[in-house]
Amino acid sequence: MAKVIGKIIIDIEHCKGCELCVESCPHDCISIADTINAKGYQYAIMVNDHCTGCVNCALVCPDAVISVYRKVVREPKPAKIKEVEIS
């Protein structure tokens, strides 16, 4: 079965720290930073690598500062071995 690995990119200079993305993430991948951006807001950051690329965070972001990327990793299929009878 294929595994989906997600990654988010947050434009921290435009994030206002509303925390809607934090609440919407089913895998707790997003948190609010302890530091502030140039506008004086604490911004959202990705805190772990459990992201599946579900896009919930980007959908609820009122400022559209979150981009979501997905990568599908497929397990290699086992090689088919053909049995040959030796006479």
pTM confidence score: 0.80
Predicted confidence at residue 2, as pLDDT, reads 76
Predicted confidence at residue 87, as pLDDT, reads 66
Predicted confidence at residue 82, as pLDDT, reads 76
User: At a CB cut-off of 8 Å and minimum separation 6, what does 65 contact?
Assistant: 10, 11, 12, 14, 15
The structural domains of the chain, ordered by start, are 3-73 (3.30.70.20)
* pLDDT at residue 1 tops 70: no
Predicted confidence at residue 50, as pLDDT, reads 93
Question: What's the mean pLDDT in 17-22?
Answer: 97
